[in-house]
Copies of this chain bind each other. A is one copy, B any other.
């Protein structure tokens, strides 16, 4: 809503104002689309549930620059749309996804990040129920594929004094295509935290891009960190990766995958209990006791406010 009514003086100012006189960047939205999907190539065992993994959607660029490199889906903002609308449109165009958790988590705007020129990218975290969307395979123009994603931090340097601190880590990012149709992508990003003058700064630099286009290795790592940070201990966004009906074990595996550690079942269930509601449905046909399906309990999600 815009309630602005300019004065006559201001009107004439605006009439002669030429925004084109000032240099402007191109503006883009890039999406880190995550889902939790089953992994291929597992031995068949009627008892065991198939293992699932956190997956990231990448597309192989069909055009310059970085032709044939894997990259995050994304595209340029058009006049008349907000950046969020750009993200939604691109997500729909490139993946067919209409509903997703979609949240901007960072801006990437260092000069030189795109060889075409000055381009500011808005990075979005997109969480979808992977089961609902079939990825479009390799058309001529481009190819989309889910990659298993994992990362690990290695401490390189840690120096804490009374009033200043510096911590440097190397973050190893690993993306693998389970179907084996694309070689594994291994990237290394350097994370440097400095505390100085009462404030902290954090900086990420690509050490090895692993063949990923642009500065996307860095964006992907930051997306993983943002996902883990936002998911927290019982953060609600993990639900956005699940279908509307899910088993508690499935939800627990999602938390474990994102946090990179395992949880005790009994404790997890107690903690999550207020946020879920039992349904009548039961998941049968597995080689063990069938699991009850649950759904979100919106009452507790929105209870306080």
Contact = CB atoms under 8 A, between A and B. Distances in A.
Given A25-B27, A82-B111, A65 B13 contact: yes
Q: How large is the interface on A (under 10, 10 to 19, 20 to 34, 35 or more residues)?
A: 35 or more
A270 B155 CA distance: 30
A46 interface: no
A181 B110 CA distance: 41
A52 interface: no
B79 A118 contact: yes
A3 to B, nearest CB: 6
Contact of A198 (B67, B109, B240, B299): B240
A139 interface: no
26 contacts: A1-B207, A2-B215, A4-B66, A4-B115, A6-B65, A7-B67, A9-B67, A13-B64, A14-B116, A17-B116, A19-B117, A27-B120, A77-B109, A84-B107, A84-B109, A101-B199, A101-B200, A120-B120, A155-B305, A158-B302, A158-B305, A160-B299, A161-B298, A162-B295, A162-B298, A163-B298
Interface of A: 1-4, 6-7, 9-10, 13-14, 17, 19, 22-27, 64-67, 76-84, 99-102, 104, 106-107, 109-113, 115-120, 122, 129, 153, 155, 158, 160-165, 167, 169, 193, 195, 197-200, 205-207, 209, 215, 239-240, 242-244, 295-296, 298-299, 301-302, 305
Given A107-B122, A167-B305, A195-B301, 11 more contacts: A6-B65, A9-B67, A10-B67, A14-B115, A19-B118, A79-B111, A99-B198, A107-B107, A120-B120, A167-B302, A198-B243
